[in-house]
Amino acid sequence: MKKPVIEIQNLSFSYRGHPILKNVNLKINERSFVAMIGPNGGGKTTLLKLMLGLLEPDSGIVSIFGESPQHTAHRIGYVPQEIGINKSFPISVMDVVLMGKLRTGRGWSRHSRNDRNAAEKVLEELEMWELRDRRIGELSGGQRQRVFIARALVNDPEILFLDEPTANVDSKGQTEFYEVLKKLNETAAIIMVSHELMVISSYVKSVACVNENVHYHNAAEITEEMIDMFCCPVELVTHGKVPHRVLRKHEDF
């Protein structure tokens, strides 16, 4: 029987008096692959940050591996939606990835050979090894995103949190990235915020619909009921291995 790696009980959160999440109860097991979907402003990113310990709930409990999120940071990886960088700062691709190996009490220069081997492995998987010495500010948006993904993967995390991770990645890169996630999911749980329903429907194992409340569906199927949470109703159709997204006739908002 699979064990839960994340447990949320009676969680509520508000921002400046405005309720964002209400009475959320959720349990995610080891090696789950969860797609978090829902409308903009529905609380997806907020819920992700609460699970990471970056925000504190108004009430309720978030437990990661049976502990508070702050005590389990070394066991998780995180790729935020947007990462602000100083493009003129002289830091290389390799240095950014090795940042994922930094630990309290270890200096910047004390990366072991194992650390560097891990960075090489993940950069090769994401086809970024040849750019390892390039400055981060010289890369395209999609290339930078791959580097930040590599930084999150370099520790072989037991849980990986992703917030719209392929927003600036081309279609070929997206397919390759999801194949990396599929392999990682053999040992790690993955929780991902995404609007790319055409793609994730081929990879995820369960779906969490987030819109103030959370409705968890322990199956990979993305149903019409889930899609109706979006402003524009969507139908998903599949011909062989190629899924398509089709907008039904609907009123403009």
Q: Say what the pLDDT of residue 248 is.
A: 39
| pLDDT for residue 106 is more than 60 | no
- Tell whether the model's pLDDT for residue 58 goes beyond 50: yes
Confidence of residue 32 (pLDDT cuts 50, 70, 90): very high
Q: How confident is the model at residue 29 (pLDDT cuts 50, 70, 90)?
A: very high
Which domains, from first to last, does the chain contain?
4-247 (3.40.50.300)
Distance CA 253, CA 246 (A): 18
Q: pLDDT tens, 151-160?
A: 999 988 999 9
Distance CA 30, CA 46 (A): 22
pLDDT for the residue numbered 177: 78
4 CB-side CA count, 13 A: 12
Q: Tell if the pTM clears 0.85, that is, is over it.
A: no
Query: CA 6 → CA 16, 139, 214, distances in Å?
Result: 27, 35, 14
- Give pLDDT tens digits for 211-243: 999 989 877 666 666 666 554 444 444 434 444
Give the integer Cα–Cα distance in Å for 147 and 197.
24
For the chain, percent helix, then strand, then coil, each to nearest 5? 30, 30, 40
Q: What amino acid occupies position 81?
A: Q
- By three-state DSSP, how is residue 10 classified? strand
DSSP structural state of residue 231: S
Q: How much of the chain exceeds pLDDT 90, in percent?
A: 42
Q: What is d(CA 227, CA 38) in angstroms, rounded to the nearest whole number?
A: 8
DSSP H helices, the chain, are 44-52, 93-98, 113-125, 141-153, 171-184, 197-200, 224-227
